[in-house]
A and B are shown apart, each in its own frame.
Chain A
């Protein structure tokens, strides 16, 4: 196949960028999208042009490193698929594909398609954990957990922190990510003692990072490669409101 790509090129964080058109020949339908970019990069290097920078690592949809907007859809818009798992057979010979980085104030572009998602780590640092000192844990089976809750917690815990939810949300809101983490820990008995301060602090950090608010649009879930459900946002709201009304404050 022959593919034309319009790739966002930007030298550095403060440089201005633009879309540049490249032609990629010899694209096989069995290639992954990132392998197509690999080929483009080999082509560029051969022509003494700098290759396109993009984040990636595991290339099997679990590390959450990869992620670009493909024709206006985060990760290309295929159900439950990360950019690295998207294959070129989803495209046709002669297609023109626009590739842009995630766009959000909280995710500044570092170079080309690479953005800084450090804001997610800050959200976790402000409370996305259970304070359990190493070595002090009781036997693992001392607290049974209803399978239903354990499964639901797992559904939320699957989030890979890729940022597609933010990228796809018209408001650049990080609610789905935050909701997933809050729900994961909030659904487990071990997570109860810190439940209120956790949600207050994580939401405060999320807001401070410059993400937009949520207007319950649902693009995030549709883009999420792990299909994190919108109902987790409802749960986050409930947790936050309960904690607020119970007199919690964001700096505990």
Chain B
């Protein structure tokens, strides 16, 4: 605990908190993406999977326990991640109160320069997304416990839903294309020897997650899944 508090006192420590929470979130999106692909198994498979998430642990634990544990971990991670992001963004912005009249970049990637925009986009997307597919508040015709139906309805009846999702997952892919490598660097796991590996992992994560998530709205729009 003392270490965690001390961590929070330095920019590097805050970054480490971001990296650790980022990795938790990273783990979630990978699993979620794979889960989403179960949609190809049809309504049965997909709905059962969703149901499974809610009853796993039964009867040892009351229904929904594991799901809530996961949810709490995710919420805590997201809160810490965003908190550190906001704090660091402030510190970073204050680092250069007067900017250059002319500025060029040699090395910075689009991903590294848009980390904060991408992060914010993901944040708002998640809120919308939960209202959309989890609570249904943003989805007319939402049926509790039937995610297959909800997803198909969402993407087919709301024309703007798919573009929003595609933009969001593009932001996520970009965020992680820099983020995964960055997290390794932040945690000090990077070295000239591992450099190539982590860069490749970051690229694969970014592209893979984008492709994996994007598949669902795309195939639905193409009418392959109904």
Q: Is B94 an interface residue (CB 8 A)?
A: yes
The residue in B9, B10, B107, B108 that gathers the most chain A C-beta atoms within 10 A of its C-beta is B10
Complex Cα distance, B115 from A238, in Å, reads 22
Within 8 A of B (CB), among A168-199: 168-173
Within 8 A of A (CB), among B51-105: 88, 91-105
Q: Is B129 an interface residue (CB 8 A)?
A: no
Check B108–A212 contact: CB distance below 8 A: no
CB distance from A230 to the nearest CB of B (A): 7
Complex Cα distance, B112 from A52, in Å, reads 36
Q: Assuming A207-B10, A216-B181, is B99 touching A221 (CB within 8 A)?
A: no
Taking a contact as CB atoms closer than 8 A, the residue among B6, B11, B97, B190 that contacts A207 in the complex is B11
Taking a contact as CB atoms closer than 8 A, the residue among A69, A98, A217, A242 that contacts B112 in the complex is A217
Taking a contact as CB atoms closer than 8 A, the residue among A73, A240, A247 that contacts B13 in the complex is A240
Check B10–A72 contact: CB distance below 8 A: no
The contact string, 1 if C-beta is below 8 Å from chain B, for chain A 220-252, is: 011100000111011111111110110111100
CB distance from A236 to the nearest CB of B (A): 7
Complex Cα distance, B137 from A23, in Å, reads 65
Within 8 A of B (CB), among A55-106: 69, 71-73, 77, 98, 100, 103-106
Q: Is A37 an interface residue (CB 8 A)?
A: no
Complex Cα distance, B115 from A233, in Å, reads 19
Check B195–A231 contact: CB distance below 8 A: yes
Tally of chain B residues near chain A (CB < 8 A)? 48
Check A234–B91 contact: CB distance below 8 A: no
Check A69–B100 contact: CB distance below 8 A: yes
Q: Assuming A217-B107, A231-B195, is B185 touching A241 (CB within 8 A)?
A: no
Instruction: List, sorted by A's number, 15 A–B pairs whose CB atoms are closer than 8 Å.
Output: A8-B101, A19-B101, A69-B103, A71-B102, A72-B100, A103-B96, A212-B11, A212-B94, A213-B88, A215-B182, A216-B112, A219-B106, A237-B15, A240-B12, A242-B188
Interface residues of B (CB under 8 A from A): 2-3, 6-7, 9-16, 88, 91-109, 112-113, 115, 178, 181-182, 184-192, 195
A210-B95, A211-B95, A212-B94 known, 12 other contacts, Cβ within 8 Å: A103-B98, A105-B94, A105-B97, A171-B96, A203-B10, A203-B11, A215-B92, A218-B108, A219-B106, A234-B184, A234-B188, A238-B188
